[in-house]
């Protein structure tokens, strides 16, 4: 177990780093339309709500993935003095967090159609879909490392 967990946490760190890359590209693509969206939000509560949900879903994905990256690196390389129970408890907590963020993002972006002649927005929709898939993989990886931790404690 001493060898398997650092390897698994390193894989999680790689997945998380890729997720941050996807998140960065998606947020950057959406920021191209930020000014127009803010103008529309001044005149429409629907546009204001859509802008708010766009921001919060992107932020929840980025925050969840950043937390996953920091935690996986910490558990892989810096966790010698961390209490075992805390190491074990972090795994299901991060799995649940990844699933929550995925559901939050999916609930908003699921119905978004791609718009002709708005390439950056369409790319952001595609990247957000990839981000949802990656969050599912992260949740699964945290469940696996949690099971390995549980098995090693018995």
pLDDT digit string, tens, across residues 1-20? 668 889 999 999 999 999 99
pLDDT digit string, tens, across residues 40-80? 878 888 888 888 888 999 999 999 999 999 999 999 988 77
Kindly report the CATH number assigned to the domain that includes residue 32: 1.20.120
Domain of residue 49 covers 4-153
3 state DSSP class of 90: helix
* pLDDT for residue 150: 85
* pLDDT for residue 151: 86
pTM given for the model = 0.88
Instruction: Output the average pLDDT for the chain.
Output: 89
Task: State yes or no: pLDDT of 117 exceeds 80.
Answer: no
Number of domains the chain contains: 1
């Amino acid at each position: 177990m001493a060898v398997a967990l650092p390897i698994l946490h390193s894989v999680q760190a790689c997945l998380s780093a890729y997720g941050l890359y996807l998140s960065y590209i998606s947020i950057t693509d959406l920021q191209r339309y930020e000014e127009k969206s803010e103008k529309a939000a001044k005149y429409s509560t629907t546009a204001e709500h859509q802008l708010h949900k766009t921001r919060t879903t992107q932020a929840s994905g980025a925050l969840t993935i950043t937390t996953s990256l920091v935690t996986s690196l910490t558990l892989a390389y810096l966790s010698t003095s961390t209490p075992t129970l805390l190491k074990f408890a972090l795994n299901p907590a991060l799995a649940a967090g990844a699933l929550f963020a995925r559901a939050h993002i999916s609930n908003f972006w699921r119905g978004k159609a791609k718009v002709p002649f708005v390439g950056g927005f369409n790319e952001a929709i595609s990247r957000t879909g990839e981000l949802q898939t990656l969050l599912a993989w992260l949740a699964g990886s945290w469940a696996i490392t949690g099971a390995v931790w549980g098995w090693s404690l018995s």
